Amino acid sequence: MTAYIPRFAFAFIALSMFATWPTAASGQQTSEPPLAPAKPGSQPAAAPAEPRAQLTETVGLLSGLYLYQTYLTIGLLADGKAERVYDDKTARSVLATVVGPLSAVDKQLAVVGKLAQTDADRQGVERLRTTVALLRRQSQELTAFWDTGDATAGARYAATRQEAWRQLTNLLGLNKK
């Protein structure tokens, strides 16, 4: 029920993201606000002056990558079940293991949001939490579609998936050329 995206596109997107993001080993940092994940192709800047800025930047980056992976996995499960690669029980079981941790992630992000010292950090946390909520709703809509087979439920899943993708591309800077 997801839009057709060639399988190689997922690999290309992932490789292009990871190939251009700064790594801890290189010591490179970006000039983005601390909780905004580093954008592919961005110029490295000097290391943050304080360890807290480094910590919040790392939390933002790892959270964004986790949400991106969750989005991909939900779509792959939907496609796999539609193509009968996964039976119903397996697809539901794997979906539960993928979506279950989102509750804990949301709770921890709420704590991080309360500790945030800048408006940019608070806004970054809210963007992450909005994406968490969309991924949870996407999972619920997919389950409703699996339960009923109803085209309306499938359309709700597809619409939620598109909105989650829009949020993720903005969050991770994937919409920049």
pLDDT-above-70 percentage for the chain: 72
The total number of structural domains in the chain stands at 1
Grade residue 55 by pLDDT with cuts at 50, 70 and 90: confident
Contact (Cβ atoms closer than 8 angstroms) between residue 130 and residue 167: yes
In terms of pTM, does the model score above 0.75? no
What 3-state DSSP class applies to 45? strand
Check pLDDT > 90 for residue 67. yes
- 1 occurs within a structural domain: no
- Mean pLDDT, to the nearest integer, of 75-91? 96
User: Would the CA dihedral through 101, 106, 111, 116 be positive or negative?
Assistant: positive
Q: In this predicted model, which residue has the larger pLDDT, 49 or 103? A: 103
- Mean pLDDT, to the nearest integer, of 153-169? 96
State both tokens at 9.
Answer: 């596109």
Residues forming beta bridges with residue 45, ordered by sequence position: 29
- 7 occurs within a structural domain: no
How far is Cα of residue 35 from the mean position of the Cα atoms in its chain? 14
Supply the range of the domain harboring residue 172: 54-177
Contact (Cβ atoms closer than 8 angstroms) between residue 117 and residue 157: no
